[in-house]
Structure 1
Amino acid sequence: MHMSKYARSAVSAASVLLGVPSLALADAVNLQTPVTPVASEIYDMHTMMLIICLVIFIAVFGVMFWSVFHHRKSKGAVAAHFHENTTVEIVWTIVPVLILLGMAYPATKTIIAMKDTSNADLTIKATGYQWKWGYDYIKGEGEGIRLISNLSTPQDQIQGKADKDEHYLLEVDQPLVVPVGKKIRILTTANDVIHAWWVPAFGVKQDAIPGYIRDTWFRADKEGVYRGNCAELCGKDHGFMPIEVHVVSAAKYTAWVNERQAAAATSAANDTKTWALPDLVAKGKDVFNANCAACHQPDGKGLPPAFPPLDGAAIVLAPPADQITTVLNGREGTPMAAWGKVLSDADLAAVITYTRNAWSNKTGEAIQPAQIAAARH
């Protein structure tokens, strides 16, 4: 998307003074470069209002400093005695009102555009969980696709054991994928507490509230990878639930849809087959690291008292019924989430099997997807 003339001029002038490229300066000290019509309007209004404020600042303080300098006591200036100048009072009331009206008009147009979610080409529900995003494609090409988007930054980087890469805490394992040039309607809700879906380059920030459906939209006119965050303080790992959106061509999007639908068919087959113990443990380790390690820790020691250890835990070493129920439905009054709303039967069977056979836990039991399905129903 383009910036307005005054936005480009302001950024270019500052870049010349500071000796850095214009785009680099724009992203470093200003809003992110917009890629949607609404984001461009927000960017232009932001720049316009900053310029208005700067002009007012220079005018007011210029007059003030000029008056102080030219009417100082050392020059023999004598203070005038006057009050209640009706003309001045009228002027300094009318002029700010006109300035505010001039700023309110484009702002109102943009707000109305932000709320117009009609005639969308694709509708996606974004559900906030502690602490990840779930995406359900519910209308348009790709209907029926479901993603769970987890932070993919390695634990070594988070714990300071490795250098942080360019996209530290802004990368996920399953990004949201949408076609370029299409109107995308996002329905936001949450499973537990209030979250907020925020992608600055799209000009989108919408709260996700449990029990409510809010909506917003965007149309990205440039292919690329765009990143955002949950923008509502939502608990311990609030800073670990980024948003990553890939905007791709129509052909690439269709190919991605076909790939995801094939993966869904494989997942459905996995939910009905009988797994060998080593395969369950291997798969379960991946599921655990993606979803459970942040709270229960990779070594299974947890972070008591909020997040109890799983290594040597009674519920893990006991018969599996209670653990399956807890993992499926969560535990009221604790941070334990209901993973049955997020993970497939095969994933749940694998992660439970992993916890029962990892660290010092050596039950030798293999929990099958059929057991999870039976517990669900």
Structure 2
Amino acid sequence: MRIRALADFYYSQAAALHHLASAAKLLTLPDLCKIATFKSVAPGIEHAVLSGVTGLRCGPIRANVLRVDPAVRKLSCCDVRSAEMQERLKEPDCYAVSGGFFLFSEAPILEPSKRTDPVGLLVTDGVVINPPLFNRGSLLDYGMWGGKCVVKVMEMSMEYWTFTVEGCDKPTKRTVAWHNPPNGPPGDVTSTFNRAYGLRSPAPPKNHVALTVVGTKLISISHSALDIPLAGAVIICPEFTASCPCNLSWEGPSPIISAMAGGPMLNPVIDKSSEEFALTAPPVTFSQDETFDQNLLPRMACGVTPSGAVIFLAVDGRDMSAPGVTLHILGDLMRALGCESSVNMDGGSSKRAIIGGKVVDTTSEGVVGGSENGASNVRPLKSAIIFEMR
């Protein structure tokens, strides 16, 4: 990870300096966004390309922008690792972008988790695949409310989420009241602890139990402290018994049709620590970032405008002709595109923009000298946001 970060830094800064020295004209970010021309590519979807050299020490920026009308298109957040979903992304009616983080560089990844599993909140067609075990900026599609489509970009945490244990003799429900309380589980309530808290949970108080939970699986129950799973949590709650492992079902404080966690929020402010990018919390490329947001990288972001349009921005990077941007510059770009709130999604080699089943951005797993983009060095997507007709 350190070698890759160092290579990214020197490569991207060299590319930026090269273009800044030779550019005939330097653009501000608002000017770069103003000259972009949006064209309709399908009902409810417009596409534009940002291209120009800026004076922000990031050199040339090349990015694809998709502006989506959520009243026409629902935002289906999906796990796309199956062969069927990989083929779906290639269909001529498919319009999509890459999604949230997944387990990749972390070690060790212990069962039941496995490499490429999604990290954080994931809701597909109203079904909670992963609860928000990390307090992260997320894209939330609530569907139609009062004749209006409600889509938000905001932080979502475990507080007020309810789980039902399906392996009990009688229905057992618990609602989370506290998340990562620094002084341990307070009182007779339910608390959750993830890897941003530490490697091991506190011990449960009297008449309470500690649960090891990964996604919708209850792995174990104990009256003692437990190791916190990499992409899961330890839940401390009033005592009950169940046969483990068993399934859990989750529901949020209000119904969500579709949701995908990313992080951190880009505006109004970037605060990685408040979104639990810390210690060994995945992805470790963010939680253990020693570059302090200095690297220019491929980035992916989504945001919402005051009019309700949803903006998706895929910024090319690791390319001498387009080295990428920092998180802070990504946030400035989203503001320049009119977003009042926006969030970073998974970028790097996973960044992708798909129009009519075709990838329109430049994507590579390694740095390249020009715009070559062979199919052999493109990482398959693990999650995606697909824009489907309502």
TM-score above 0.5: no
Which structure is richer in relative contact order (CA contacts within 8 A, separation 6 or more)? Answer: 2
More strand as a share of residues: 2
Structure showing greater radius of gyration is 1
Report TM bin, short chain. Answer: under 0.3
TM-score by length of 2: 0.23
More helix as a share of residues: 1
